[in-house]
Amino acid sequence: MSVLEDARAVLAIDGVCDACLGRVFADRSHGLTNRERGRALRTVVGLEDDEAPDYVDPADCWVCEGRCGEFDEWAERAAAAVGDVEFESYQVGTRPPALIEENERMLREDAGLDADAGERFKSEFNREVGKRVGRLTDAEVDFERPNVQFLLDLAADTVEAQVNSAFVYGRYRKLERGIPQTKWPCSACNGSGRQGREPCEECDGSGYRYPESVEQLTAPVVEDVMDGIGATFHGAGREDVDARMLGTGRPFVIEIEEPHRRTVDADRLQEDINAFADGKVEVEGLRLATHGMVERVKRHDAAKRYRAQVAFDGDVDAEAFAAALEELDGATIEQETPNRVDHRRASKVRTRKVYDIEGELEDARTATVEIHGEGGLYIKELVSSDEGRTTPSLAGLLGVDAEVTALDVLAVEGESEPFENASYFRD
């Protein structure tokens, strides 16, 4: 059958508005709205029959039950639902009443057309309301990861606006020891700050094992500036609590939940964070990032460079020390899960590479060692041997017990390419 013959079959069913008529033929004559397509078909049929077209107001349409006349209304409700939230991208989703979906099926069946002819009511409603939302808010549609997602529930007569997170990337330096990367709840009170009716003695009622963390010294500032309701800190690995993070810093992303502001001055934000952290932590290279940067920070393979102060239990001579470093330089290390983390990590043997290592004896029982190693290499155990769980090790090669007394991370860099890939930034 021709398009006009199919259109006549639909028009033979009374009470169908132009949009519902045109939607059956949505795969024809692209560039028209379904309403324009339906009106054109109705007009041509009227011209062929030399009869005035019988136009049907959407309010009188039994298929959409008037919904195709409400695009403007729902768009205005969606725009109002986000209030003063700043956003650049959005997506509209519709939950249509079951009766409308059944009406669509009946229309095609009664007209003798395929059940999947044209497009669904839900798709048209998403598109038509979406276009109007864009005009009202000066934002663009994004089907991947929009700033805001609208759900129009026609049966419940509600509009939900989900404001998705915003992300800030940077690198941090931790300049003092004794500061964890993220909040560390007190184990004695499970983070409540209380034991019974009394303040917890272990944490002095704070609820935290450590009073400050890199997260607590940075994320609240970003949350405040972006006017969000919560923040999550994502780091590219983490250093030990007693280790400093120096040099080029460690990559991180701060995720802000339901932000009202997305466009912020990254340089000013950086200054604000550094002032708030008061010399304990410094951040640099702040940039507005995409959601994908969280996964990159967490999953991107990274090599790390460390500086360790080492104490020996016995005297070590320079030649033996140099020979041990030469043996470790470029070596593949086998490490069973260290005793110190065995309670929270699966027990298994990992192999990691030492890319290069160099050091200097300060006296017969102390040394400074710099190690450039593969991500996941346990540095303290590389020095101490961890009761033989790491081989080879500095202590094992020297035949003298050794311990890291102070550890600094100097660099965290991507193995294959830098963390800072332009495709993950908004600016």
Catalytic residues: 240
List all residues 6 or more positions away from 182 whose beta carbon is below 8 Å from its beta carbon: 213, 214, 215, 233, 235, 238
Closest CA to 331 of 304, 356, 306, 358: 356
DSSP 109: H
Tokens of 223: 């949350």
Binding site annotation covers 306? yes
Q: CA of 406: how far to CAs of 210, 273, 367, in Å?
A: 19, 27, 11
Cα–Cα distance for residue pair 394/400, rounded to 1 Å: 9
Closest CA to 112 of 6, 2, 37: 6
Q: Are 100 and 126 in contact (CB under 8 A)?
A: no
Count CA within 13 A, CB hemisphere, residue 214: 34
Closest CA to 92 of 72, 78, 77, 73: 78
Beta bridge partners of 304: 373, 412
Name residue, tokens 């033996």. 320
E strand map for 200-340:
230-235, 244-257, 281-289, 302-312, 332-336
Name residue, tokens 């309301």. 129
Which residues are documented as binding site? 306, 378
Residue numbers in the known binding site for substrate are 306, 378
